[in-house]
Structure formats: C-alpha cells, structure tokens
C-alpha cells in the first residue's frame, strides 16, 4: 500500500513539474522520494529473502 501511495505522489508531483512551477525543488523532492522508495523496496526484498532462507534451513533439519 505504501508503494502505491508513493507512486501516486510521484506522478502528481511530476504533473506539477510539467506546469513549470518550482521545477528545480520539485525535481529534488521527486528524487528524494524515489530514493526512499528504492531503499524501502530493497529492505522488504531483503527481509523476504532472509525469511525464505530461514524457512528452507528449518525445513532441512
């Protein structure tokens, strides 16, 4: 759900940038949100892989 809201927020910001209002600061905000989104997505994927590995190790024993 967080990711969907982030994508919606980014697209709304991008539409504002197209109008030419505060374009430089808008780009900075979009880049920051994008990096936050990437880091959160990476953490979720890493946690899923860790849980998957733990389940595999437990099932072998």
Alpha carbon distance 41, 25 (integer Å): 24
Q: Which of 40, 23, 29, 25 is nearest to 10 (CA)?
A: 29
The pLDDT of 42-50, averaged and rounded, is 81
Per-residue pLDDT band for 56 (boundaries 50, 70, 90) equals confident
Alpha carbon distance 46, 55 (integer Å): 14
Q: What is the pLDDT of residue 61?
A: 63
Q: Is the pLDDT of residue 50 over 80?
A: yes
All structural domains of the chain with their residue ranges = 2-60
Cβ–Cβ under 8 Å, residues 10 and 30: yes
* pLDDT tens for each residue of 1-43: 556 666 666 666 666 655 555 566 777 777 788 788 877 878 8
Q: What is the pLDDT of residue 37?
A: 80
Q: What is the pLDDT of residue 28?
A: 76
Alpha carbon distance 61, 55 (integer Å): 10
């Amino acid at each position: 759900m967080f990711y969907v809201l982030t994508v919606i927020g980014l697209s709304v910001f991008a539409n504002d940038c197209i109008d030419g209002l505060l374009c430089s600061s808008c780009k900075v905000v979009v880049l920051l949100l994008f990096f936050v989104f990437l880091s959160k997505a990476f953490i979720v994927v890493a946690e899923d892989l860790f849980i998957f590995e733990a389940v595999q190790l437990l099932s072998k024993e």
